[in-house]
Structure 1
Amino acid sequence: MDEKRRDRDAGGRARNARPRDGLGRPLPYGSEGVARQPEGVVRTPEETVREAQRLLDAGLPFHAHEVFEDAWKSGPETERELWRGLAQLAVGLTHAARGNARGGARLLRRGAAALGGITPTRPYGIGVEGLICWAEGLADEVAEGAASGRGVDPVARAPRLRGPVR
């Protein structure tokens, strides 16, 4: 495939069909990549939390971000900030794992701020307050270690969406 042409879906919309690694980074065409999350899947909140946690535990925060993004786009307006904030936490962890300290810290803080206005504090059993503390702590840690350029281990640093955060 000519890499200068944009990939398009059947409807003519731009879609990047390049394979991706486990952290969502594009790989050269023809490389073996990690299967992407299908877009536009409508899940119940329970299914969303369960699938996102499975992906986080597997070290695939980029993929978890896509699950949250589907919930954010398909769910009720009243829950949009919850799912958007969780998506930002997942993509913040993605950037931190890639070694992008500045982007990771910024997105972790943005996600924590989005979750700060969520009531009740345990929607669908999600421990919002614990996630905010996790995100702020990881953002500080990542920002302090920015000069090293090393990413964090996404499995070891994955949050628990329900229950105590690691």
Structure 2
Amino acid sequence: MKRKFVNLLFLIPFILFIFLLLFIPISDALVFQYQNSGNTLAYIPISEGETFQMKYTHSIHLSDVVESYEITNDRQIKQYELMYEDFAIGMPENASEGEIFEQKDGKYYLKNMDRRFPSFDLRVGKVRANHTVIFEGKEYPLSRVIEPGTWVRIKIERINLWQRWKGVNMLE
């Protein structure tokens, strides 16, 4: 009886340790959640100061648009640049205060942007948009892991080991 009690004394802290190891958030990730449900469809491990881009084909112009983002120290998503190829519906014609507008090699750039978001929503394109995340120079089409037409919320969130194991790491 005493031996069972001693074993139990060692087993309970071990189980608690494993539980904590699995369920305490340990790393930041760029997460793609189903609508605003909190259900993570996919993620990319990311850290403060790292950057990523969202590339898509504009529905009217049928040309590429690339939005560039950086992760801030307070887990916000900061848009710092926008690149597009056509002036027309839905595209800015000039820079806002503090921003820089440039034309280079037939493309237009808005630079020095400081637009911060806790999250942003996106409907993964069904027809032409071909929404793609660019991270560390590699392209990851969202339609590869998220059903086209799905509304996703994109945000920075701390995730735990369990979420990493059960989720879809877009980099793999």
Structure with more of its chain in helix, by fraction: 1
Greater relative CO, 1 or 2 (CA 8 Å, sep 6+) = 2
Decide: shared fold, TM above 0.5: no
Higher strand share: 2
Larger radius of gyration: 2
- TM-score range (shorter-chain normalised) is under 0.3
TM-score by length of 1: 0.24
> What TM-score comes out, normalization by structure 2 length?
0.24
